[in-house]
Chains A and B, each alone.
Chain A
Amino acid sequence: MGEKLLVTSSPHLKGPKTVRGLMLDVILSLVPASIAAVVIFGPRSLTVILASVVSAVASEAIFEKAVKRDVTVNDLSAVITGLLLALTLPPGVRLYVPVVGSAFAVIVAKQIFGGLGTNFVNPALAGRAFVMAAWPLQLSSKWVAPFTFDAVSGSTPLAVLRSGQTAIPSISDILIGNRLGSLGETCVLALLLGASYLIARGVIDWRLPAGYIGAVFAGAWVFGKSGAYFQGDGLTAVLLGGVILGAFFMATDYVTSPVTGKGRLYMGIGAGIVTILIRLWGTYPEGVTYGILFMNLVTPLIDRFMVPRYYGYVHDVSLRRKARAAGRRA
């Protein structure tokens, strides 16, 4: 037998999930929302999405070449960053917004720190925060009327709620997406479809979005109505704005969310609390971006304290007593 055998450490079997596979799953789960965006807001949505994705991939490739690292666009993480950023932008936005935003997201929030696995906040949200600060007008007025594709400069339902009026679309309109809003946040049904695919495939942990949505719901329900408690509309608060998009697709970014199940739950709750705080008492009508960004920064702290009870360290006194008794029974 002249063949050379490979000697590696155990285990010698590798699981079916790969990085590329996980990224593909995420992209697939965002397809319904992207299609919905094109259907509701017209072909311009596709241009925005493409501009964002191309810019993200190109920025990553150019930067990695410039600093002489391996080009890693194959792992599709830049594609996801571009796609997610596009879905948070208004449909009528001028094209330099997604291009610059994606470049910032990929280069400054991810590549400068070391590439995949080293971003300290969600790159897409970092890009969004940057373009929000750079071109506030673009992000607050370039709306497009659903299904008629006319440019509109009115206010989104969230802004309407913020100003105290109550004329917001019906629940069915909200679910289908018949309202003003960003590309990806309007068609809640499409988002939920993608989210259930992600949970079914085991890509994301359901505890994070559950905590997030639960916290937003509870906060809006308890404090939503000014002057009275427990009379707010929790459901509308959850369905409007970027909560669904953020909870399932943004907050669940692996690198910036905790490693343990309980930790993820707490991160979701924390993000929900910050979102509600900003929405109700902050200066922006939408709090998802900064809610998630804030909890991204808190994640290392959560990881530090969320250490599970290891096997064998039986803290419960009665269990310990029973175990000892079983070994000593005469």
Chain B
Amino acid sequence: MVNLRRGFGGVKLPDRKGLSAHAKIEDAGIPAELVLFLSQHTGAPSKPFVKVGDAVKRGQKVADAQGPVSAALHAPTSGIVKAIEPRYQPVLACMVDAVVIEPDGKNETVEGLAPVATNLHAVSRQKIVEIAREAGLVGLGGAAFPTAVKLTPPPGTVIDTYLLNGAECEPYLTADQKLMEEEATTIVFGFRALMKGAGAPKGIVCVEDNKPEAIDAMKKAIGPFKELDVAVLPSKYPRGGEKNLIEVVLGREVPPPPGLPLNVGVIVSNVGTAYAMAQAILTGLPLVERVITVTGEGVARPANFKALIGTPLSYLVEKAGGFSGTPGKVIMGGPMMGTAMRGLDVPVLKGTSGVLVLRKEQSAPEPVLPCLHCGKCVDSCPLRLLPVWIASYAENGYLDEAEKFRAVDCCECGACAYSCPSRRPLVQSIRLAKARIAERRRAAAAKKQK
């Protein structure tokens, strides 16, 4: 049993996971078109080496990693490369080049795809990192950081604990929960592979207490492994955020940006990433599909799909029974940190963990009232920041003061805006300040170079 510390801040959110918690993971099938963005991970975009008109098979690499921090891209099913053209990337909110594949329905796997090993003793640490790189593995928790890079921290850093993040603290989402319930053993295999890849001696699986079946499944799966443990977190948002998780489970604080968890000897990965790692070793399949929850009061039949990367949202929503009532908002991700979409014609990215459809009545914007200085945002910030001042300064254009109040440290979790009784758009203001500060720093750096 792991001793938990009391984390700071956070809010208790309505769970709303009951909508899809009982839906077993089902295959989403093959849509009419797959859009694979060359930039759907943290780092440099991938470089494609297929051409328009090429025939590709499932698991075939279509783009290579460019530079040290980048990831490879693979075709999720067999078909023809219809186009390589700019498409609207919903998370980056700009046009990004994408490889568009038209599936042929035969779903033929590429030749040479074979299991690498069934036992971790048969793979060395370097081999694991190579597999992660070749399979185009990225963090499936949302930030999509290339896993191979994560497993190779700068020389001199020693990782002593690896945390597996199964907290899934956002309401409505159940993808990680169902994955843990149904594939606990595979996840543990992948987790141990990741640990070996990083060289971490100890691993802790972190789950929130609102997923009892998942907790039981994971506890059973880690049974024989002495170096693994399960930590059950009280379900408060955003305990599943990387920084907060490390503080609550290990009592350590990650240094402010550009600090990373590796500075305190920790690496954090999502359960989905561990599952994908396991698949890459056990079957040789690279990252071409993932579990996504399609849920919300706005879909008729909330479900957890195993969907191909690049599947359009419209296809998934139709598979989930279509709309229920008038849709008001379609959110890619969870309700607290997800991005609202302008339409359903956007594809699933590697980092998409859920699609949330809210009804019109639920999404009506509320009038914004003046700030009351009630301090509820301060009480709820998990990083102990002062959102009230950052947002006020940002709204009035005082970038220096916003920077002084550590606007750059904000993780945009949304707990402050959730607790604000005046419904002030705190996260939006802070994001604005961050963008302007980054712009200013870039301009200053460019001027210095001249």
| Interface presence of A312 (CB below 8 A) | yes
Q: Which of A1-9, A132-140, A157-165, A190-198 contacts B (4 or more CB under 8 A)?
A: A1-9
Taking the nearest CB of chain B, how far is it from the CB of A11, in angstroms? Answer: 3
Bound-state CA distance A311–B384 (Å) is 6
In whole Å, how far is A283's beta carbon from the nearest beta carbon of chain B?
Answer: 32
The interface-forming segment of A114-122, A167-175, A286-294 is: A114-122
Please, what's the 1-or-0 string for A293-320, where 1 marks a CB less than 8 Å from any CB in chain B?
0000000000000011111111000010
**Contact present for A19 and B372 (CB under 8 Å):** yes
Cβ of B370 and Cβ of A323 under 8 Å apart?
A: no
Chain B nearest CB from A207 CB (Å) reads 11
> CB-CB < 8 A to A116: which residues of B?
369-370, 372
In the assembled complex, 23 residue pairs joining A and B whose CB atoms fall closer than 8 Å, in A order, are A1-B323, A3-B360, A5-B341, A7-B341, A10-B414, A11-B336, A11-B337, A11-B427, A12-B336, A13-B414, A15-B421, A22-B374, A114-B370, A117-B371, A255-B373, A310-B256, A310-B385, A310-B406, A323-B263, A323-B265, A327-B157, A328-B265, A329-B160
User: Contacting A310 at CB < 8 Å: which of B263, B339, B340, B384?
Assistant: B384
- 1/0 contact string of A98-126 vs chain B (CB within 8 Å): 00000000000000001111100000000
A66 within 8 A of B: no
Indicate if the CB atoms of B427 and A10 lie closer than 8 Å: yes
CA distance A22 to B374 in the complex (A): 10
Q: Which residues of B are found within 8 Å of A309, using beta-carbon distances?
A: 384
When each residue 355-393 of chain B gets 1 if its CB lies under 8 Å from chain A and 0 otherwise, what string results? 010101001011001111111101100111110110000
Q: Does A260 contact B (CB under 8 A)?
A: yes
A: residues with CB less than 8 A from B are 1, 3, 5-15, 17-19, 21-22, 75, 114-118, 205, 254-255, 257-261, 264, 307-314, 319, 323, 326-330
Contact check, B375 vs A15: say whether CB atoms are below 8 A apart.
no
Select B264's contact among A1, A3, A326, beta carbons within 8 Å. Answer: A326
Residue of B nearest to A255 (CB): B373
A313-B256, A323-B253 known; A8-B365 Cβ under 8 A: yes
Measuring CB to CB, which residues of chain B are less than 8 angstroms from any residue of chain A?
A: 8, 11, 13-14, 156-158, 160, 171, 243, 247, 252-256, 259, 262-265, 314, 323, 326-331, 335-344, 356, 358, 360, 363, 365-366, 369-376, 378-379, 382-386, 388-389, 405-406, 409, 412, 414, 417-423, 425, 427-428, 431
Instruction: Determine the residue in chain B with the shortest Cβ distance to A18.
Output: B421
Do B171 and A13 touch across chains, with their CB atoms under 8 A apart?
yes
Q: Which 4 pairs, one residue from A and one from B, show the smallest C-beta to C-beta distance?
A: A11-B414, A117-B370, A326-B265, A9-B428
Pair A12/B428 contact, Cβ less than 8 Å: no
Complex CA distance for A118 and B370, rounded to whole angstroms: 8
Q: Are A312 and B378 in contact (CB under 8 A)?
A: no
Closest A residue to B380 by CB, please name it. A15
Of listed B326, B331, B388, B425, residue having the most chain A CB within 10 A: B331
Q: Provide the bound-state CA to CA distance between A330 and B156, in Å.
A: 9
Q: A255 to B373, alpha carbons, bound, how many Å?
A: 5
Instruction: Give complex CA distance A136, B273 in Å.
Output: 74
Q: Which residue of chain B has its CB nearest to the CB of A307?
A: B386
CB < 8 Å neighbour of B331 from A1, A12, A18, A329: A12
- Checking A5, A260, A308, A326 against B329 with a beta-carbon cut-off of 8 angstroms, the contacting residue is A5
Contact B171 A6 (CB under 8 A): no
Question: Is the Cβ of B370 less than 8 Å from the Cβ of A254?
Answer: no
Name the CB-closest residue of B to A308. B384
Closest Cβ–Cβ distance, residue B268 to chain A (whole Å): 14
With A5-B329, A12-B340, A261-B379 already in contact, 5 other A-B pairs whose C-beta atoms are closer than 8 Å: A3-B360, A310-B383, A311-B247, A323-B255, A330-B158
- Residue of B326, B341, B423 near A14 (CB, 8 A) is B423
Interchain nearest-CB distance for B107 vs A (Å): 28
Contact of B335 among A1, A13, A311, A328 (CB under 8 A): A13
Assuming A312-B243, A328-B156, is B375 touching A259 (CB within 8 A)?
A: yes
In the bound assembly, the distance between CA atoms of A328 and B157 in angstroms comes to 6
B410 to chain A, nearest CB (A): 10
Give the interface centre of A3, A10, A327 by most chain B CB atoms within 10 Å: A10
Question: Known contacts being A12-B358, A22-B421, is A7 close to B342, with CB within 8 Å?
Answer: yes
Contact A259 B384, beta carbon cutoff 8 Å: no
Contact status of A75 and B369, CB under 8 A, knowing A312-B253, A312-B259: yes
A15 touches B420 (CB 8 A): yes
How far in angstroms is the closest Cβ of chain A from B417?
A: 5
Q: Verify A328–B427 contact, CB threshold 8 A.
A: no
Which of chain B's residues have a CB closer than 8 A to the CB of A22?
A: 374, 421
A205: nearest chain-B partner, CB-CB: B375
> What is the bound-complex CA distance between A114 and B370, given in angstroms?
10
Q: Given contacts A10-B414, A311-B384, are A327 and B326 in contact (CB under 8 A)?
A: no
Q: Give Cα A227 to B384, complex, Å.
A: 47
Q: How far is the CA of A10 from the CA of B412 in the complex (A)?
A: 8
CA distance A22 to B160 in the complex (A): 47
Residues on B with beta carbons closer than 8 Å to the beta carbon of A328: 156-158, 265
Q: Which residues does chain A contribute within 8 Å of B13, judged by CB atoms?
A: 13
Are A19's CB and B383's CB within 8 A? no
CA of A319 to CA of B250 in the docked complex: distance in angstroms?
12
Contact B243 A117 (CB under 8 A): no
